[in-house]
């Protein structure tokens, strides 16, 4: 589950929420995967096919069920799914008691941009991401942590080595990032939200604890036994045991848990102990793409320009391409004269022996007289 590129389902028959959500996510510098639907049935199909990170729906839908009913149905399928219901000014307003008891956030137009962005932060990053009483400079962002296959393997091996029922990875905002084992039988969101404040306060204790503290929390009760291991300053691991944990559970958690945390810290990197990390969006912000430039080049008509010092030779003349336009005033009867041509004389013109004699005659010292030029048609008749 990635908070920098969350998968968000938007349900709105009027197609207004989609643009609002996209604009807000751009202000948050995140790259969401938005799935736009126009009714609750399609939204539930998308939700059951691939679990989303957030569901945003209009209060009024073009069907029997409303947005609030869709929110309750979605929460029934996925209890940990954050849901935001947005009402229009013309929609019936929900009373404060209903809003307080509803398992979703309720907003009503007109919505201030700051309020909508705050709701998105709470839905995607947890309630601690945007506390009401905290000043903006007091809100420390949680660095992004991808629940990769390497992390899954380390957590699964740790759960197997200590014989735990389930293992959960969460951040200090109380958001579950991943889990292994029989985590479906425990309220993993409750565990994450309850343990998050304790692990989140480690940053405030750094002056007294020193750098890179390791924290182990232990809860032994009637129904289950829970261990919490800090993964740096911003994340932690929860190990859940059944009612009867093994006698050596505490020793095994300290032994195998310490080695697993060291492996995870190498994967996370130095940001794990950074008390003031960059925001997740800035950490994964893509490089801006260069604007595509489209150029249209218009070629000018080619004009033959010959320097005055160089005469135009026959070999310099290139015939333009045929445009296949009809010749004006063309008389087809001109082609009838081809029948009277003596082909034998035409073949004699290209006889090799005669061409050789002509070439020898041209290279001889004999000069062309005026009468010869007149007879060969090189010059026309001159009127005296």
pLDDT at residue 228, as a whole number: 95
pLDDT tens for the chain, 384 residues long, are 445 689 999 999 888 888 889 888 888 888 889 999 988 899 999 999 988 999 999 998 877 678 889 999 999 888 889 999 998 888 888 888 888 888 899 998 877 777 888 889 888 888 766 665 554 445 677 888 889 999 999 999 999 999 999 999 998 888 889 999 988 788 888 888 888 888 988 888 888 888 889 999 999 888 889 999 999 999 999 999 987 788 888 899 999 999 999 999 999 999 999 888 865 443 344 444 434 333 333 334 444 454 555 554 544 445 555 545 555 666 666 566 656 656 556 555 556 666 666 655 555 555 666 666 666 666 655 555
Nearest to 47 by CA among 19, 4, 76, 23: 76
| Cis peptide bond prior to 37, omega within 30° of 0 | no
Q: May I ask the CATH class of domain 149-283?
A: alpha beta
CA distances from 7 to 10, 45, 50, 149 (A): 10, 14, 9, 20
Q: Which CATH superfamily is domain 7-136 in?
A: Response regulator (3.40.50.2300)
pLDDT at residue 285, as a whole number: 41
**pLDDT per residue as tens digits for the range 37-63:** 988 899 999 999 988 999 999 998 877
For the chain, the first-to-last Cα distance in angstroms comes to: 107
Residues 18-25: contacts with CB under 8 Å, at least 24 apart:
20/116, 21/56, 21/120, 24/113, 24/116, 24/117, 24/120, 25/120
In the sheet that holds 54-58, the strands lie side by side as 33-37, 7-11, 54-58, 83-87, 105-108
pLDDT at residue 131, as a whole number: 62
The domain locations on the chain are 7-136, 149-283
Nearest to 11 by CA among 31, 52, 39: 39
């Amino acid at each position: 589950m990635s908070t920098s590129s969350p998968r968000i389902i938007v349900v709105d028959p009027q197609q207004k929420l989609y643009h609002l959500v996209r604009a807000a996510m751009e202000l948050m510098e995140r790259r969401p995967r938005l799935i736009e639907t126009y009714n609750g049935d399609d939204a539930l199909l998308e939700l059951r096919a691939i679990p989303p990170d957030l569901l945003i729906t209009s209060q009024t839908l073009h069907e029997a069920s409303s947005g609030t009913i869709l929110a309750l149905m979605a929460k029934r399928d996925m209890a940990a799914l954050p849901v935001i219901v947005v009402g229009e000014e013309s929609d019936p307003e929900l009373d404060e008691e209903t809003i307080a008891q509803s398992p979703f956030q309720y907003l009503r137009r007109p919505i201030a941009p700051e309020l909508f962005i705050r709701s998105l932060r709470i839905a995607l990053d947890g309630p601690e991401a945007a506390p009401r009483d905290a000043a903006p400079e007091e809100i420390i962002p949680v660095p992004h942590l991808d629940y990769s296959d390497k992390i899954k393997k380390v957590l699964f091996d740790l759960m197997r080595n200590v014989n735990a029922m389930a293992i959960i990875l969460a951040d200090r905002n109380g958001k579950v990032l991943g889990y292994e084992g029989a985590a479906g039988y425990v309220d993993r969101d409750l565990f994450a939200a309850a343990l998050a404040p304790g692990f989140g306060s480690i940053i405030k204790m750094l002056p007294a604890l020193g750098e890179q503290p390791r924290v182990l929390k232990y809860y032994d009760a009637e129904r289950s036994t829970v261990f919490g291991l800090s993964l740096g300053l911003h994340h932690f691991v929860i190990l859940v045991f059944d009612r009867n944990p093994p006698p050596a559970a505490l020793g095994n958690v300290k032994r195998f848990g310490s080695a697993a945390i060291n492996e995870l810290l190498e994967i996370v990197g130095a940001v794990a102990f950074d008390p003031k990390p960059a925001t997740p969006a800035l950490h994964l912000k893509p490089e801006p793409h260069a604007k595509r430039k489209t150029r249209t080049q218009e070629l000018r008509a080619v004009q033959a320009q010959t320097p005055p010092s160089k005469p135009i030779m026959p070999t310099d003349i290139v015939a333009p391409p045929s445009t296949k336009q009809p010749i004006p005033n063309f008389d087809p009867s001109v082609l009838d004269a081809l029948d009277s041509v003596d082909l034998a004389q035409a073949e004699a013109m290209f006889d090799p022996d005669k061409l050789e004699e002509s070439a020898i005659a041209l290279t001889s010292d004999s000069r062309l007289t005026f009468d010869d030029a007149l007879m060969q048609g090189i010059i026309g008749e001159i009127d005296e």
